[in-house]
Amino acid sequence: MTNKYLARLKPKGELTELPKDPSVSFVSDPGGALEKIESSPLPEDCVGALIYTESGAPYLPWGPYINPEKLSRWQRELFEIVDELAKLEGWKPDDYDHTVMCIERQPISTLKPDLAYFTARLSAARDEAASREAINKRSWRFDR
């Protein structure tokens, strides 16, 4: 038995169509059918996409290919960012361990959003640490 999704793919970027009775449909109006959308030719980055028969819209039922090296690099970047952030914010060891475990086990789809989120938090934490350090340098202490 062949995979029904793989069977729809054709080599060399030829467009494929779904069967008339798809196993998954979209909910739209009470009738459940979407209007057929007349559109211009597909952009180059959509060539090879599956075409939804009811709307004519292209879709990709898979994510972009990510090789293991890129995945490891993203995980390493995220770990380094979280590590520095944990030091700056003074995370509890349990929170740090849990976050690192989540980085190792998280789905690929959440890596890029997590990189963006933790990079923004790290930037804010660095700015806060720099302002605290500047205040500490300007203030003098009277020690006896």
Average pLDDT rounded to a whole number, residues 43-71: 77
Most distant CA pair in the chain, distance: 87
Q: For residue 110, what are its two tokens?
A: 């959440």
Residue 15 counted as domain residue:
yes
Contact between residue 79 and residue 86 where contact means Cβ atoms under 8 Å apart? no
Whether the per-residue pLDDT at 47 is higher than 90: the answer is no
Contact between residue 104 and residue 67 where contact means Cβ atoms under 8 Å apart? no
pTM listed for this prediction? 0.53
Model confidence pLDDT, tens digit, residues 91-119: 999 999 999 999 999 888 788 889 999 99
Which residue type, as a one-letter code, is found at position 73? R
Q: For residue 17, what are its two tokens?
A: 């169509």
Question: In this structure, what DSSP letter does residue 63 have?
Answer: P
Q: What range defines the domain where residue 56 resides?
A: 1-62
Residue 144 counted as domain residue:
no
Task: Please count the structural domains in the chain.
Answer: 2
pLDDT band of 12, cuts 50, 70, 90 = very low
Bridge partners, residue 51, by sequence: 17, 58
